Each structure stands twice: as C-alpha cells, then as structure tokens.
Structure 1
Amino acid sequence: MPLNQKQQEAVEYLDGPLLVLAGPGTGKTQLLSKKVEYILQNTDTDPSMILCITYTEAGAENMKERLRSMIGQAADKIDIMTFHAFGQKILGLYNQFATEPQRSFTEPIEEIIQLKIIEELQANLFCHRTTT
C-alpha cells in the first residue's frame, strides 16, 4: 500500500522530533518502518541510535519483521519495543536510584507490594487534598 502525501511528508521530515498520531489500521507501522529506512538511507545515523515505540507487542514484532525485510540485519540493532518494555528498560537502567529495596526494578513487583504502594499513594493523595 503506497503512502499518502501526509505520510510521505512525515517519512521525509528530518528537522527534529516528529509525533505521528493515527487510528488503528491507518498505516502507522508502515510509515514508521519507511521513516527508519529513509533515515538510514539519507543520514549517517547509526541504527542503534533509533528507538521505535509501539502500543502492542504484536505491533513491535510486525515492525521488526517489516524492517528486517526492508533494511536487513541493521534492523536487529534498532530498539523496537512497546511503551511498557521501554519503561521497564529505563527503570532497569536507573534502578540504583531506588531508595527502598521493594522498589528495585530488576524484576516484577510482587502483588502484595503493588497493593502497599497503591495504598501509600492513595493515603498521600488524601492527606494533601484541600477543599475550597
């Protein structure tokens, strides 16, 4: 499926950050894959410096396969992940800043700890609530 004019403009835009918002089935994965290909063909960007974030694991896998077919092995150097996986990666990189052992992000938090954290957050919200 060929890109429409707006999608092609998004692919070719290289002057800074770009946010693409579109509904389901509108070609976002295709557009982002084409954009990555365009960046790699028209700049000296290293593939390891590219991050593609999707909403679903299926979308991330689809994009990985699509990029492999478009750009070959360079696709394996690109970070392609969901929002959740990206958040987990960031938390893992900075887990040394966790001040409490139960808030270390090296593995999933046990359900009982999750509940305690939520209760603590709720208690703090209600303590700081003011009425006008």
Structure 2
Amino acid sequence: MSRAAPDALLDGLNAAQREAVLHHEGPLLVLAGAGSGKTRVLTRRIARLIRTHGVRPEHILAVTFTNKAAGEMRERIAALLEREPAGMWAGTFHSIGARLLRRAAPLVGRTPSYTIYDEDDAGAAIRRLMERLDVNPKQFALRAVRGAISDAKNALVTPDAYAALARDPFAQAVARVYAEYEPTLRRANAADFDDLLVLPVRVLEQHPHELERLRRRFRYLLVDE
C-alpha cells in the first residue's frame, strides 16, 4: 500500500499547531504567547484552505494588527502557494473598515472618495467647533474633549445618546461639540479614524443587504490579533 504524500504545509509544526492548521469548518480560537507561531499557523491554514480545500482566495478575509503584518502575511501565503492569493482581503481592522466604507459610503452620507482625517485633522475640526460654540479650551482641554468623543464613538454611543447621559459640565460641553462634529464630518465628506470602525458597523446594522453581501463574499474570517 502506498503512503500518502506528506503535507508540506504541516512541516515544522507541533501537535497543537498542526491541529489548528488542519481545522477546516467552524470557529477556532488559538491562545498563545508572543513569538509562539500564531501568525505562522494562520498563514499555513489560509494556504491550506486554498490549496487543499479549493477555497477561492476572494472568500477569505484576514485581519491583522498592523499594515506591515498584513503585507508580510500576503508574502508568506504567496510563497507557500507559489502564486498570489488574488482576491483575498488582508489588513488591519481600520484598513478593512475603510475598504468596506468605500463601497457603502452613500449609506452614511459620504462619497467613495471620502477623506480620512488623521489626529491632526480631527483635532483641528474639533478646535474650530469649540471656538464656534464658545467652549473654553482653558476649562475643557481640546485633548480631553477629543478623547471623550473618541471613547463615545468606540462604544457606539451616538451624539443624542451621549447628550441624554451628560450630567456634569464637561460631559455637557462634550455633548455640544459631539453633536456638531458628526455633521461637520459629513459636510466635509470625511471620516475620522474612529469612523473607520463605527461607520461600517452602522452600515451592517442598518442595511441587512450589505451584511448579507459580505456574508456571501467572505466564508472564512481569520484574525491575527
């Protein structure tokens, strides 16, 4: 009886890593310390999905912690497959969010060519709003106001909800600025860094057809975080 050809994608892996790479359908959580080979497991698993199971690269979404890591992941997978995984999405949460938002921009009051505000741009917009609304920066520091708005966004707290909860003078000042900040961004056809996470969530919550489209597109979601 002939022996099965060895799977080169399993070379150099320990038993736990092999188990993770061989996992095909359903959720899987890999917990390990830094430098223990988690990224290697993920890249081998993606390569095996494509090579062994015939998964089309465009059905794979891989999320990493930096853009550099995403580039290295693609390079590793291409080396393992000896070809580019054309159509596969790989990037950080923010870069994936930005990409999703390009398509769905009209659903949140933007165009696909919207501008991404960096920290300086966002800070300048908030500073102008504070001046217009007579919010004293000596009493309420710009950094603190910007941070409070960012925290609210990341907790998916809308300007109206934030205003309803504002009790102390600082929160009330933030609420006034936050209420104007969102329409300011829309008018400028812009999104700040937090919006790259928040706006795609809003699109998926409020527009089921977009959620279903992504579910059909991405059959395998792998996160290296």
Which residue in the other structure is 1:128 paired with?
Answer: 165
Structure 2 residue matching 1:51: 3-state secondary structure? strand
Does the alignment pair 1:19 with 2:29?
yes
Paired residues for 1:111-126 under 5 Å: 111=122, 112-113=124-125, 118=149, 124-125=161-162
Superposition TM-score, scaled by structure 2 size: 0.48
Write the deviation string for residues 31-58 of structure 1: whole angstroms up to 9, x where unpaired. Answer: 1111011111222311111111110122
Which residue in the other structure is 1:79 paired with?
Answer: 89
Task: Please tell me whether the aligned partners of residues 51 and 81 of structure 2 are also in contact (alpha carbons under 8 angstroms).
Answer: no
Paired residues for 1:43-82 under 5 Å: 43-82=53-92
Task: State the structure with more CA Rg.
Answer: 2
Which residue in the other structure is 2:101 paired with?
Answer: 91
Superposition TM-score, scaled by structure 1 size: 0.76
Distance 1:108 1:73, change over 3 A: same
Task: Please tell me whether the aligned partners of residues 78 and 84 of structure 2 are also in contact (alpha carbons under 8 angstroms).
Answer: yes
Amino acid at match of 1:33: T
Does the alignment pair 1:41 with 2:78?
no
Structure 2 residue matching 1:92: 3-state secondary structure? helix
Amino acid at match of 2:115: E
Does the alignment pair 1:107 with 2:115?
yes
More moved, 19-28 vs 48-57: 19-28
Amino acid at match of 1:23: G
Structure 2 residue matching 1:3: 3-state secondary structure? coil
Structure 1 vs Structure 2 CA RMSD: 3.1
Aligned length: 128
Task: Please tell me whether the aligned partners of residues 48 and 78 of structure 1 are also in contact (alpha carbons under 8 angstroms).
Answer: yes
| Percent identity (aligned) | 27
